[in-house]
Amino acid sequence: MSENVGRWLRDEIEDAILSYEFAPGERLDETVLANRFGVSRTPVREALMQLDAIGLIEIRPRRGAVVIDPGPHRIYEMFEVMAELEGLAGSLAARRLDNTSREAITATHSRCEQSAGAGDSDAYYYDNEEFHKAIYAASRSDFLEEQCVQLHRRLRPYRRLQLRVRNRLSTSFSEHCAIVDAIFAGNGDEARRLLRTHVGIQGERFSDLVASMASR
């Protein structure tokens, strides 16, 4: 449990939303949440305020909080921005790479190789996350890293859906290889381009996303 109940609740509710335990559009009753977590309404409200500021829920004055339902179109927009930010991170990483970052990228990359080779999509899901975070860190831009991590977190559930798609695992990993090559070669423009297409969801991948969302 975090330092104080408010933050703990924020993380707890955030996780519940990102894992669809609290479905999009669902109403979040303060009293119910307070009882469920065995605390008073005060920290619950504080947690909700923060989630509202982050953009995960919407608090309509006097009318309670509801989980935001980002339709396929908005999710596409979020991936579009994510692609842009990751592209920037990649290009900076290529320019500024040092030994520490290089090793972190290599380590996470080879872990991806293992889980992709084993066809373990759950393991790959985590390793992939670490790989991308290694690139954010390698950008040496704290602000960019924070923005990337936050957006990455919000997109987590949809990323997971994507990995279920047939052949996506090996495709993803081979894209990683090219990205690593570009970064290690110091080719910022290439790293940017590759990351943009790796992260963005164009063409049939968007239809896949819509389909997998609809099937839930």
Q: Could you say which of a copy of itself, DNA, none residue 64 binds, taking C-beta under 5 to 8 angstroms by partner kind?
A: DNA
Q: CB of 103: closest distance to a copy of itself in angstroms?
A: 23
Q: According to the binding rule CB under 8 A, does residue 1 interact with a copy of itself?
A: no
Residue number with CB closer to a copy of itself (92 or 116): 92
- Is 191 in contact with 200 (CB distance < 8 Å)? no
Q: According to the binding rule CB under 8 A, does residue 135 interact with a copy of itself?
A: no
Q: CB of 61: closest distance to DNA in angstroms?
A: 4
d(CA 69, CA 15): 15
Residue 44 makes CB contacts below 8 A (sequence gap 6+) with 9, 30, 33, 34, 37
When binding is defined by CB under 8 A, the residue of 12, 52, 113, 175 that contacts a copy of itself is 52
| Residues of the shown chain interacting with DNA in the complex, contacts defined by CB under 7 A | 4-6, 27-31, 39-43, 45-46, 59, 61-65
Residues of 21-49 as b/e, b for ≥16 C-beta within 10 angstroms?
Answer: ebeeeeebebeebbeebebeeebbbbbbe
Q: According to the binding rule CB under 8 A, does residue 40 interact with a copy of itself?
A: no
Q: CB of 113: closest distance to DNA in angstroms?
A: 43
Residue written as token pair 């990993």: 173
Contact set with a copy of itself (CB under 8 A): 3-4, 6-7, 42, 45-46, 49-55, 61-62, 74, 77-78, 80-81, 84-85, 87-88, 141-144, 146-147
